[in-house]
Amino acid sequence: MIRSRLLSSNPRKRHSYLAIVPLPDETAAFRAYRVLQSCGISPEHLAIVGEGYSSPQRIGLLEPWPMATAKARQFAVRIGTSGAAIALLAVAVWHWGFDYPLDFHLLSVIPACAIVGGFFGAVLGALLSFLTEGSTVGVYHHHLRQGGYLLMIEGSQKLVRRGQDVLKQYMSPKAR
């Protein structure tokens, strides 16, 4: 699930849900927005994303590459640090447990494990980012590049479900 802050920024942690509805054109997006408003959903819980409305970056819908890069860095640092810590522990055990002298070859294991761990962490982080949030975000960005619009509903679980139900009735062939 993609999280954004459509509501005013509040330092407290807020439990909110988000629904994103892709719509083919500006008219459909504006009609759906008005239908939700007429059903009692406040405009502060709604956002239209597309040409002439909010930009994807403004509401927190980032491009997949920056997301993958950030996740790769985060995993590289965490797993690289863990690799160095495990290697340091292994060297200490090897030195004290087996009475092996500390020399360059034994100590070079520590940075080697950190580098290998960092590399694998970066690869893992990038893959996880692309396979989870990145793929969804990529689909939404593609929809926007094709001239479509996104209607976003954020709020409590009950509010988001009510908005989705209203839009299902509105978007069904019977309602047209």
- The neighbouring-strand residues paired with 165 are none
Supply 38's token pair: 């007429």
Quick: pLDDT tens for 45-73. Answer: 888 888 877 777 776 666 667 777 888 88
Of 85, 75, 77, 72, residue with least CA distance to 111 = 85
DSSP for 24-89 reads: SSHHHHHHHHHHHHHTT--GGGEEEESTTSB-TTTTT---HHHHHHHHHHHHHHHHHHHHHHHHHH
How far is Cα 33 from Cα 140, in angstroms, rounded to an integer?
A: 18
Quick: pLDDT tens for 2-45. Answer: 344 433 444 455 577 878 888 888 888 888 889 888 888 888 88
* Band of pLDDT at residue 1, cut at 50, 70 and 90: very low
